[in-house]
Amino acid sequence: MRPLSIRMQDGMTYAVERVRFCERSPSEVGAILPVRYTVVVEGRELQLFYEPSKEQWFYQVPCFTGGGVGDS
């Protein structure tokens, strides 16, 4: 399973341009044992997580400066 796009909190959807890494993540993100994907969206790296036990995707909210993905 690979992420194809991400919908941000503002409702905008962005295509995942590339998946750079895929690995099991430590439980520091508040899930049992999520799969962490390091992806590129609009030229910027984001961390996406998939929680297999809940069949749920989530992401860390990055702190961006300038116009682009995740800006309000």
The residue type found at 56 is: Q
Asked if 32 and 9 touch (Cβ cutoff 8 Å), the reply is no
Q: Is pLDDT at 64 greater than 70 in this prediction?
A: no
Please give the sequence-ordered ranges of beta strands (E in DSSP) within the chain, or none if there are none: 5-7, 13-15, 18-24, 35-41, 44-51, 56-59
Structure tokens at 52: 């297999």
pLDDT tens per residue, range 6-63: 888 889 999 999 999 999 876 555 657 888 999 999 999 988 888 888 888 888 765 6
The residue ranges of every structural domain in the chain are 5-59
* pLDDT given for residue 24 in this prediction: 87
Q: 66: Cβ–Cβ under 8 A, 6 or more apart, which residues?
A: none
pTM of the model: 0.70
The pLDDT score that the predictor gives to residue 16 is 94
How high is the pLDDT of residue 39? 93
69 close to 59: Cβ distance less than 8 angstroms: no
Return the higher-pLDDT residue of 67 and 46. 46
